[in-house]
Amino acid sequence: MARRLLLLTTTALSLLVQHAAGIGQETCVSFQSSSSTFSVVSGRRAAPVLISQEDWPGVQLAAADFVADIERVTGVKPSFRNVTTSDIQASGSQTPTIIGALGKSPIVDRIVNTTGLDVSSIQGQWEAFLSRRVENPLPGVSSAYVIIGADKWGTIYALYDHSEQFGVSPWYWWADVPTTKQSQLFVSASGCSHGSPAVKYRGIFLNDEQLALQSWAQGKFMNGTGAPFNHLFYGKVFELILRHRGNYLWPAMWSGKFAVDGPLNQPLADFYGVVMGTSHQEPMMRSTPNEFDAGKWNYSTNRTLSSSTGLKERNELALTSPSTP
């Protein structure tokens, strides 16, 4: 029986974790083959994972996690490449896994166009996804397992849904939940799917982060000096939220200033698709003790300056990719 429960209290994030598939999750992964399965890994060979360079950066990040998760489970690392439809045709008789967001991945759009794959159940639906085995998806490819999201989130959730069923807990990093090793991984021809969630924005907030979380993050990500809540920290938080199929975060706010502490924090939230809000008395993501109380920042007097400065920084930063934390 699948159980996953996340409790938030005013003083701590308390967790009860059981290693199993998530609540309400459709099963499409198995560890033994049958006539209706597609091989992700078998006989120490992994199906290549193909994606389009034009897809969302957040989908790229989650796809890299999906590939790493297959290796965590099986010890076999699939080849992982950006391709165009003509690259796929030229490389011949593979049976790849193909990942992409509708309207964003030319490969996925081409497969939908040429095979008539029915995506009406997800098209235009917030966060929806489907996956399935498709025969002759493109010239030269006999069979592929396609993972298609209606949007950035849907595609990311489809990947983490598979990862969780492969046996990688959303808590593998934060709580060191071990991964059960498998020598083979299969997915069903009919795949998994999910429609739009009943709750549009789902997330967590970091509360009372000082002393414990802040001191830990400072040691872990900053060698004990400097602002601890940087993109290395938030990259891990964003991944955790998305692996739980969340999409929303209120960041550390006591002595933390999300947009200032790490110049890559905002672009990274955008890449991952995590929507940012603020908690407590911190409008505009500024810090109470360090800015409001110290008289350094006041919406009435600083709004123009800070928003134009922020935009300029953001545009410059968005041009440079953050390294995957």
298 touching ligand NAG, by CB under 6 A = yes
Q: Which is nearer to ligand NAG, 19 or 104 (CB)?
A: 104
How many residues bind ligand NAG, per CB under 6 A? Answer: 23
Q: Among 223, 281, 304, 323, indicate the residue that binds ligand NAG (CB under 6 A).
A: 223
The whole-angstrom separation of Cα 185 and Cα 73 is 9
Footprint of ligand NAG on residues 158-197 (CB under 6 A)? none
Binding mask 91-130 for ligand NAG (x = CB under 6 A): ---------------x--xx--x-----------------
CB of 261 to ligand NAG, least distance (A): 13
DSSP letters spanning 6-71? EEE-SS-EEEEE-SSPPTTPPP-EESS--TTEEEEEETTEE--EEE-TTS-HHHHHHHHHHHHHHH
Footprint of ligand NAG on residues 49-88 (CB under 6 A)? 53, 60, 80-82
303 touching ligand NAG, by CB under 6 A = no
Q: Among 10, 300, 304, 323, indicate the residue that binds ligand NAG (CB under 6 A).
A: 300
Task: For residue 192, give the 3-state DSSP assignment.
Answer: coil
CB of 23 to ligand NAG, least distance (A): 31
Q: Which is nearer to ligand NAG, 42 or 302 (CB)?
A: 302
Q: H/E element holding 130?
A: strand 129-138
Task: For residue 133, give the 3-state DSSP assignment.
Answer: strand
DSSP 198: S
Q: Among 181, 296, 303, 312, indicate the residue that binds ligand NAG (CB under 6 A).
A: 296
CB of 15 to ligand NAG, least distance (A): 26
Q: Among 278, 306, 314, 318, indicate the residue that binds ligand NAG (CB under 6 A).
A: 306
CB 67 within 8 A of CB 59: no
CB of 21 to ligand NAG, least distance (A): 27
CB 181 within 8 A of CB 73: yes
- E strands within 150-247? 185-188, 193-194, 203-205
The whole-angstrom separation of Cα 120 and Cα 78 is 30
Q: Which is nearer to ligand NAG, 283 or 295 (CB)?
A: 295
Q: Which is nearer to ligand NAG, 221 or 234 (CB)?
A: 221
Task: For residue 124, give the 3-state DSSP assignment.
Answer: coil
Q: Which of 4, 310, 289, 319 lies closest to 160, judged by CA? A: 4
Q: Which residues bind ligand NAG (CB under 6 A)?
A: 53, 60, 80-82, 106, 109-110, 113, 221-223, 292, 295-298, 300-302, 305-306, 321
